[in-house]
Chain A
Amino acid sequence: MSTFAVEVTGVSRVFQGKKSTVTALDGIDLTIEAGEFVSLIGPSGCGKSTLLRLIADLDQPTAGDIQVFGTPAAKARAAQKYGIAFQQAGLLPWRTVAGNIALPLELHGVDKTARRARVAELIDLVGLGDFATSYPDQLSGGMQQRVAIARSLAEKPELLLMDEPFGALDEMTRERMQAELLRIAAESGAAVVFVTHSIPEAVFLSDRVVVMSPRPGRITGIVPVKLARDLTSDADALREDTAFFAAVTAVREELHGVPTVERARGVDLR
């Protein structure tokens, strides 16, 4: 039996406040295959970010179990099984682009020559060749986010966790970053868990879109997306494909709670 990248079983997360308790997640079951691109989508407060944080072991579930590559989430974090990127780039302002990308490598004792080689590779990968010695405050938002993505890839993780990494970018930068992320994910073969607000973004990027609803946070449906995606295909053409629109419709209907029968038909349209 192959090991799943992520295996979430019966997970709930309850935040105990002073006055009230909030059930952020309730009865979540989800498996993600190695190399699969899965988006979590839903309105604010549906617990999609919480779920991502649980997988990253930045927070612990109230009940249930999370396995990452067959080990508990805490062990997976200690073993550096995943790379993570947040909505803000979160670069250290006193480090250059190269220094920021090198941070996880430095922390884990990778020697200097290997570090330098890997950083150079990553800077090329995200197309920031001329900015290796620039500081974060000299970069645009999109460039900072690219640095953050390069940093999350530094240790060649087989799982990438991304919490709305393009949320703060303008539409044009965003689309370009999406295309780049797809290329990077395909090249590295990593599984990706991608939290987003945007239906087109989720559909464009994902193999499966997990739709969630709030209060309590639950998975209401999973929409498989099958776009004719290969590395040579033109991203813009893909966005105008009928299959793309069909999947967008399917996710939208799932989000708005349209009956199952119609939803199934929406997927079949492609």
Chain B
Amino acid sequence: MTAALTTRSLRAKSMSARLRPFLLGIVSVVLLAGVWELYKLLGPADGFSIGELRVLPRTTDLAMPHVWDMLERLGGPLTGASTAIPLWLAVLKAAGISLGIAAIGWSIGLVVGFVLAVLMQRFRIAESAVLPLVILSQTVPLIALAPVVRVWGSRLEFGAFEWESWMSVAVIASYLAFFPIAVGALRGLQSPDVIHEELMTSYAAGWWKTLIHLRLPASVPYLLPALSLGAANAVIGTVVAEVSTGLSGGIGRMILDFSNFASSDPAKPWAPIFGAILLGLVAAGLVSLLGLALGRYRRAEVNR
């Protein structure tokens, strides 16, 4: 999304200009497929190694299936059973489950990140105390975190509420998502010009009114990229956490399961990988829809 897009009225844009990003996207996918096939055609069958280290992959059908084989496999059945659903449908279903979990994780991350940012903006001392912890939190390896969250979660009990394993995954996803949101929102909340802050002071507007009328709207241009980053992180967090907590149904587990077919059905493991890519694209797309809805608050980008 470019700044130029917001200056002109979105409705006034011609159809071709709107289709442009999609067309460019398709062209880039076709190019990528071309590069893949070209390398497969011309590259050395055993790849290229420097000493022990293989710097270029093998070009065998096992390591790099043809693009059309992978696509054809997507159309084929999930298993050999006669009742099996097509592979693409299974992948879509798994991706849908992961998307739901990632969305919940992203929402939790949004709330937590935003509350932290508001606290840090309000209290200078909170900024110096919390910000290093926030940064430190991201250095904890996800793989180490997953079992801890699962164990802690399973001990939670209030009334009829029962901790389910997908919740662990959502929490881990939110753990990755909140970081860019907290940092971006803090920058945004601190972004108003001195002149605007003094204007609010001259209106005898307190902290709360200044937050609502000045800081929140001013934070939007900083917040939107942070929300996209948060969405990408939530998707990665979900996929990785599904693997490390062993949650079935999602795309992460599917990647793990299908990797067993690497030698017998080499095109199959690529299907959930495409699913994961699609998942990331859809998540990023949803967030940019949010950007369209908040277009009015992005005028600041144009003005500066």
Contacts and interface: CB of A to CB of B under 8 A. Distances in A.
A28 to B, nearest CB: 21
A21 to B, nearest CB: 22
A137 B201 CA distance: 24
Q: Interface on chain B toward A: helix, strand, loop, or mixed SS?
A: helix
Interface residues of A, number: 21
Interface string A125-137: 0000000000111
A86 B166 CA distance: 55
Given A93-B299, A136-B303, A137-B303, A108 B203 contact: yes
Contacts of B54: none
Contacts of A106: 213
Contacts of A103: 203, 213
Contact of A137 (B202, B205, B302): B302
A94 B204 contact: no
Contacts of B220: 94
Nearest to B220: A94
A107 B205 CA distance: 7
Contacts of A237: none
Interface in B164-201: 193, 195-196, 198-201
Contacts of A90: 193, 195-196, 199
Contacts of A77: 201-202, 204
A107 B202 contact: no
A58 interface: yes
A104 interface: yes
Contact of B201 (A58, A92, A93): A58
B195 A94 contact: no
A88 interface: yes
B96 interface: no
A137 B199 contact: no
B300 A94 contact: yes
B217 interface: yes
A80 B214 CA distance: 19
Contacts of B7: 137
A106 B209 CA distance: 10
B51 to A, nearest CB: 57
Interface string B207-222: 0010001100100100
A84 interface: yes
B299 A80 contact: no
B18 interface: no
Nearest to B212: A107
Interface string A69-85: 00000000110101010
A56 interface: yes
A106 B214 CA distance: 13
Given A92-B214, A107-B209, A135 B299 contact: yes
Contact of B217 (A80, A94, A108, A137): A94
B203 A107 contact: yes
Interface in B206-252: 209, 213-214, 217, 220
A106 B217 CA distance: 15
Nearest to A148: B199
10 contacts: A58-B198, A84-B202, A86-B199, A90-B196, A93-B300, A93-B302, A94-B297, A103-B213, A107-B203, A137-B7
Interface of A: 56, 58, 77-78, 80, 82, 84, 86, 88, 90, 92-94, 103-104, 106-108, 135-137
Given A86-B195, A136-B299, 20 more contacts: A56-B202, A58-B198, A58-B201, A77-B201, A77-B204, A84-B202, A86-B198, A86-B199, A88-B195, A90-B196, A92-B196, A92-B213, A92-B214, A92-B217, A93-B302, A94-B296, A94-B297, A104-B203, A107-B209, A137-B303
Interface of B: 7, 193, 195-196, 198-205, 209, 213-214, 217, 220, 296-297, 299-300, 302-303
